[in-house]
Structure 1
Amino acid sequence: MNILDTLLWGVLPYVVMAVLVGGLIWRYKYDQFGWTTRSSQLYESRLLRIASPLFHFGILAVLAGHIMGLVIPKSWTEAVGLSQHAYHFLALSIGTVAGVGTLVGIVMLIVRRRRTGPVFMATTGNDKFMYVMLLGAILAGLATTVLAVFDPNTVDYRETVSPWFRSLWILQPDVGAMAAASTSFHVHVLWGMALFAIWPFTRLVHAFTAPLHYLFRPYIVYRTRGSSPRAGSAPVRRGWEPIGTHDRDSGRRRTRPPRERSGSTSVK
């Protein structure tokens, strides 16, 4: 280890965390109206209908694979009977499919944004930089997967990157473990940290806004045309309250003429 290793793997991760959390708080406090994806579906939807689900479902699968590889220790998978060979086979097969799907999805999104005139005109410099960072992170991840298979000198990330990642959360960064990782993992991790550092300041911020309140919204209540129930029908409990003031409602009741009974005659 040297000073550079200490700065990169012992100090920089906490700087990125501070920027990420602080940026999210700042964005939520001062730019709530900008906390959006700035959807361009209105301009073009045919290609977006394919590219967007492919990218989003692919990135969710990639995220799940990273969580499994970084959070779950190697001893745990071996304890449940999952051998190292079987684990790497599953990680390689599922990770490759998820990574390729994500790559195809983002390439389709970039092509759509470049070739569709209104969408390209609505693209800012911030969006272009975000796409470059996303594409670079995906390519770096796929490169580490390929090199881990064909390069025999690649060090197992479950013995280097994973222990380092878990050590960060107990505030005891294992700098030596990360320093011993292969160069491909160094590039992938540095690019990933750069992506998280710019995350709060791009449209990627919408990933932290899950519309969970949609699951608990009340049903939409429609008002009937008539104010009085039908003859012979059971009284229905209103799901809404009339809007008005007591003096106005009482004034209406006083000025309303009394109803005459049907078929009744007056006797003098």
Structure 2
Amino acid sequence: MNDIGAFFLWDIFPYIALASFFIGIIVRFARNRFSITAKSSELLEKKQLMVGSILFHVGIIFVFFGHVVGVLIPKAFTDWLGIPNEMYHIGALVMGGLAGFMALAGMIILTYRRFNNKRVFITSSFSDLVVDLSLLIMIVLGLSASLIEGPFFHPEFNYRLNLSVWARQIFMLKPDFHLMQQVPPVFQIHVICGFLIFAFFPYTRLIHALTLPWQYLFRSPEVYRRKPSIRGDQYRG
């Protein structure tokens, strides 16, 4: 890829995707907020939904925060803490691998359920089908990059020296596309797919992730009192 294409892909496209993400969320909440919650298909099939949903959501939450830590914490900080680079990578591979395979197992179950169960498939929108396949491909790419391409084909690659630096530069509004040209292909595709998901996030059922009832974590506990039985009242009387 020439420098013009690389410049657009790594210095311009991320901001297009993020603009679509934030503007889409604002517009959808303002104009059609009652369409935000995801349609439940629990009445059509429950067992696979419960197992797949729990595995996927637990796994993807750990994967997400693992990505955040990997991007936001620079190598210099862990070096200052005295954490060897090898130990950091082993911990990231083990924890990220476990979370990734958990998310993958859940997504395989959910995707199989959506395409194989006739009632679920018929009631699914085109967007639902695309979202399931996109998330499945995204997870497979992430695991392939971390567990196959990196260790076996590019053992010298250290994402903290280029990919993570580039990602932090996005927030500083000065990304350097040359850094991403040093990144192996599967990692690049994984990043592109991630930004595509961000771009289409507000226009799919994925937006229901923003409607989680966070208020239940901070509200005061409710006290329930048992209603006295009639027999007990008569006995005390």
Fold-level similarity (TM above 0.5): yes
Q: CA RMSD in A?
A: 2.0
| CA distance in structure 1 between the aligned counterparts of 2:63 and 2:3, rounded to whole angstroms | 32
Question: Which residue of structure 2 aligns with residue 49 of structure 1?
Answer: 50
- Within 5 Å, which residues of 2 pair with 1:85-96? 85-96=86-97
Question: Which residue of structure 1 aligns with residue 183 of structure 2?
Answer: 181
| CA distance in structure 1 between the aligned counterparts of 2:7 and 2:177, rounded to whole angstroms | 6
Give the ranges of 4+ consecutive aligned residues of structure 1 lying more than 4 Å apart after TM superposition: 217-222
Please say if 1:171 is aligned against 2:173: yes
Structure with more relative contact order (C-alpha pairs < 8 Å, separation 6 or more)? 2
| Residues 10 and 180 in structure 2, CA contact (< 8 A), matched pair in contact too | yes
Gaps of 5+ in 2: 228-232
Aligned mate of 2:150, from 141, 148, 151: 148
Give the Å deviation of 1:220: 8.5
Give the Å deviation of 1:176: 1.6
Flag the structure with higher helix content.
Answer: 2
Over the matched positions of the two proteins, sequence identity in percent amounts to: 34
| CA distance in structure 2 between the aligned counterparts of 1:148 and 1:136, rounded to whole angstroms | 18
| CA distance in structure 2 between the aligned counterparts of 1:176 and 1:120, rounded to whole angstroms | 44
Of structures 1 and 2, the larger Rg is shown by 1
| Code of the aligned partner of 2:178 | G
- Within 5 Å, which residues of 2 pair with 1:1-268? 2-145=3-146, 146-152=148-154, 155-214=157-216, 215-216=218-219, 219=222
Aligned length: 224
TM, length-normalised to structure 2: 0.88
| Residues 147 and 154 in structure 1, CA contact (< 8 A), matched pair in contact too | no
| Residues 13 and 193 in structure 1, CA contact (< 8 A), matched pair in contact too | yes
Give the direction of change, closer, same or farther, for the CA distance of 1:63–1:78 in structure 2 (3 Å limit).
Answer: same
Give the Å deviation of 1:210: 2.5
Give the Å deviation of 1:94: 1.0
| CA distance in structure 2 between the aligned counterparts of 1:39 and 1:65, rounded to whole angstroms | 29
| Code of the aligned partner of 2:121 | F
| Residues 20 and 198 in structure 1, CA contact (< 8 A), matched pair in contact too | yes
Give the 3-state SS of the residue equivalent to 1:37 in structure 2: coil
Deviations 1:28-57 (Å, cap 9, x if unpaired)?
A: 112111101111112221122211110000
| Code of the aligned partner of 1:216 | R
Give the Å deviation of 1:153: 5.5
Give the Å deviation of 1:217: 6.9
Deviations 1:6-32 (Å, cap 9, x if unpaired)?
A: 101111111111100011011111211
